[in-house]
Amino acid sequence: MIKTRTGRRATTATPPTEEIVTGSRRYRDKRFDAVVVKVFPGEHYVTDKEDEMLVTVLGSCVAACIRDPKTGVGGMNHFMLPENFSHWGNASDSMRYGNVAMERLINDVLIRGGARRRLEIKVFGGANVLNGVAKIGHRNADFVEEYLAAENLPIAASHLRGSLPRRVHYFPATGRVMLLELPRADHEALVRHETSYKSKIQVEPVAGSIELF
């Protein structure tokens, strides 16, 4: 289930974008009676705790939310593909960066007791929000769809592309997703952090490939 709404100005019940993309990594949200774990660009997080809610803010980046409904183990990643292939040699090296981001998340779910045949997968993000970057958000969305199709892993739900950033709240224990499309007033903080992440991965070598269980 995905509950979606278009954002308004932040209130005390809904932390502003700046607070989500920075600040404390973990905190307790009394409104949801849950421990919030932020997933920042280039990271992934897997849990089997029933009271944890994973939160991220996506512009051009994409996030996969993957869980095993039987065991309750699940997690989220947050990544984008490098834009400039010149530092990587060719486009396939850039694709390998995305492969590793997906494989790390899937493997960690499987290692904690998940079964590949039971995986429930939901994907989000890939908006075109970065100035001067030609459709990099949509390219990230294309990648995650093509990767999962190649791995024969069906997508249970998705909210991809477009032009507005998204805030995603994911409850791995139940698979519940709450998605908020952010107003343009919230773009500045997100674009600043995504631009910094994009610059980093342009020159950072990708780790070796990972074999899926």
Q: Tell me: the pLDDT tens digits for 79-124?
A: 987 654 444 344 455 566 788 899 999 999 999 999 999 999 999 9
Written as one letter, the residue type at 27 is Y
**15 assigned to some structural domain:** no
Q: Which two tokens stand for residue 178?
A: 């709450």
Look at the chain and report how many structural domains it folds into.
1
pLDDT tens profile 151-190: 999 999 999 999 889 999 999 999 999 999 987 656 666 5
Sequence-distant (≥ 6) Cβ neighbours of residue 85 within 8 angstroms? 91, 93, 94
Total residues belonging to the chain:
213
- Confirm whether 123 is domain-assigned: yes
In terms of pTM, does the model score above 0.95? no
Is 192 part of a structural domain of the chain?
yes
- Identify the domain containing residue 118 by its residue range: 2-8+31-201
Asked whether residue 115 is assigned to any structural domain, the reply reads yes
70 contacts 118 by C-beta, under 8 angstroms: yes
Instruction: Encode burial over 167-200: b for 16+ CB neighbours within 10 A, e otherwise.
Output: bbbbbbbebebbbbbbeeebbebbbebbbebbee
Quote the percentage of the chain above a pLDDT of 90: 52
User: Over 80: is that where the pLDDT of 131 sits?
Assistant: no
Judge whether 16 lies within some domain.
Answer: no
Residue 124 counted as domain residue: yes
